[in-house]
Amino acid sequence: MTVHAAQLGRFYEDFNVGDTYQHPFGRTISEADSTWFTLLTCNTNQNHFNAHLAESNPITDGKIIVNSGFTVALVLGLSVIDMSQNAVANLGWTDIKLTFPVYIGDTIYAESICIDKRESSKRPYAGIITMLTRGLNQNGDQVVSWKRTVMVPKGDSGIGKDYFPEAKAGPMQMPEDA
């Protein structure tokens, strides 16, 4: 039997310039998601929580629009498993564009393309990955995009590996009656 060590994400060597990563999860946005995020961030724009007022907004077709901060945070989160699960630092975000409205009930997906890769000049155990990330709704409309740079450790650095604790009771055993 083989033990597969706990590991998620990619290391510096795993990235190739020009590769696109379609992130595996989609997430449907509920009214509670948008309302909670709006309240947590003290965003007082009523288009995010007042259905009556939102009816008068010609841009949103009279519907409550999801807080754009939540949309950005969600797409970032969806991309982490592939692009920055093992990152040791976010280095920058630029060119954030909100290109299509997001509404309660939309399902959001994300994908990223690696556009640059270089070794860190200051930290020999890591490299710098630059990516373009975009969020898509269930219809394929691009709702948000940005450029992001992260520092990712190299696979042989030991960072992000061997963190699973050793069981004091010893290794798991197959039951004798199995």
pTM of the model: 0.86
pLDDT at 3: 52
30-68: pLDDT as tens digits: 999 999 999 999 998 989 988 999 999 988 888 999 999
Pick from 136, 169, 157, 162: nearest CA to 14: 157
In this structure, which topology does domain 12-155 adopt according to CATH? Thiol Ester Dehydrase; Chain A (3.10.129)
C-alpha distance from residue 28 to each of 32, 78, 104, 118 (Å):
11, 12, 8, 35
Percent of the chain at pLDDT above 70? 96
pLDDT at 5: 56
pLDDT block averages, 10 residues each, the chain of length 178: 60 91 94 93 91 90 92 96 92 96 96 95 96 97 98 88 82 81
pLDDT at 178: 65
